[in-house]
Amino acid sequence: MESIQLSSGQSMPLVGLGCWKIDGNAAKETIRAAIKLGYRHFDCAADYGNEAEIGEAFEEAFAAGDVTRQDLFITSKLWNTHHAKEHVPEAIQKTLSDLRVDYVDLYLIHFPLAMKYVPVTEKPYPPGAQIGEDGNPLMAKVSIQETWQAMESLVDAGLVRSIGVANFNCILITDMLTYARIPPAVNQVESHPYLVQPVLRRLLARHNIHMTAYSPFGYPSYKVLGIPFAEKNFLELDSVLEIAARYGKTPAQVALRWNIQKGCSVVPKTVTPSRLTENLSVFDFTLTDAEIAVIDALDKNVRFNNVGLPFVWNSPLYD
């Protein structure tokens, strides 16, 4: 497994298992299978609602001698309800308890949105988005700077090894760099051939902030959520199918390889054993510059995880 060295000095595997939408009942079995197949990078979050089951899988894998804690790179994320400086420690302690580890390798601010506080002891957990009767989010008056300083304190306390952000745009990144004592090591964002984001990529590279791509297969992750999209997904396009056939690979593998060659790590989600294997098998071929350009040209600036939509959170982040 190839890795990237983060600005924090840590080494992060370039392919991880995305744990969003893995049902709690399937999470334990999926994590154990992934570890046995060679996965060492796991992308978790409090909001995914499965950290307790994932923690059981980690504990069993450690006890069985399949891996040690030091073998794994575990990411988790701070949810919107815990942005205040006094609430960040509560959030990380809940995550550590659920994952059954003493530290996480990477802790991200999940969204640049501070919502009404909900204690971790309140049911149901996780609390999800806090939306009022008018359809708008119930916001908390907490600056990103306050949240980031609390995140830095977690590094000082040894509870997390690296910190970063997710779903941050260029303006938010640029502003954060004016006050961050510890700069963000990672920005995890939606990234696929329909959402190339060249300007964001350039900014992150300039400041040595690594970009992790979630939803690297695009629309399939969102179709089940009822997000509308009338066009063909890029995995079905002739240009991508032709490139895949040239290497004896699947279109999904081509999409992952494209992101990797553009400097990203990827965290595709699957619970299917054959696809767990398939998603790791992306280091035995290299796309040409011409093939990269063909895929780049598919860009439509289409964002499927768009929390600005009125029927999602009505909270524009990218406009």
Are 193 and 135 contacting, i.e. CB atoms less than 8 angstroms apart?
no
Per-residue tokens: 118? 């909900």
The set of residues, in sequence order, having a beta carbon less than 8 Å from that of 197 and lying 6+ positions away, is: 189, 191
DSSP state of 190: E
Are 44 and 36 contacting, i.e. CB atoms less than 8 angstroms apart?
no
The strand pairing partners of 186, in sequence order, are 210
The strand pairing partners of 107, in sequence order, are 76, 163
Exactly one of 48, 194, 214, 219 is catalytic; which is it? 48
Per-residue tokens: 63? 């006890």
Work out the burial of residue 9: count CB atoms within 10 Å of its CB; fewer than 13 is exposed, 13-18 middle, 19 or more buried: exposed
Work out the burial of residue 78: count CB atoms within 10 Å of its CB; fewer than 13 is exposed, 13-18 middle, 19 or more buried: buried
Has 39 been annotated as catalytic?
no
Distance, CA of 36 to CA of 42 (rounded, Å) = 13
User: Contacts for 275-278 with beta carbons within 8 Å, 24 or more apart?
Assistant: 276/17, 276/30, 276/33, 276/34, 276/37, 276/39, 277/37, 278/250, 278/252, 278/253
Distance, CA of 109 to CA of 19 (rounded, Å) = 16
Are 130 and 124 contacting, i.e. CB atoms less than 8 angstroms apart?
no
Are 216 and 250 contacting, i.e. CB atoms less than 8 angstroms apart?
no
Distance, CA of 52 to CA of 54 (rounded, Å) = 5
The residues annotated with a catalytic role in the active site are 48
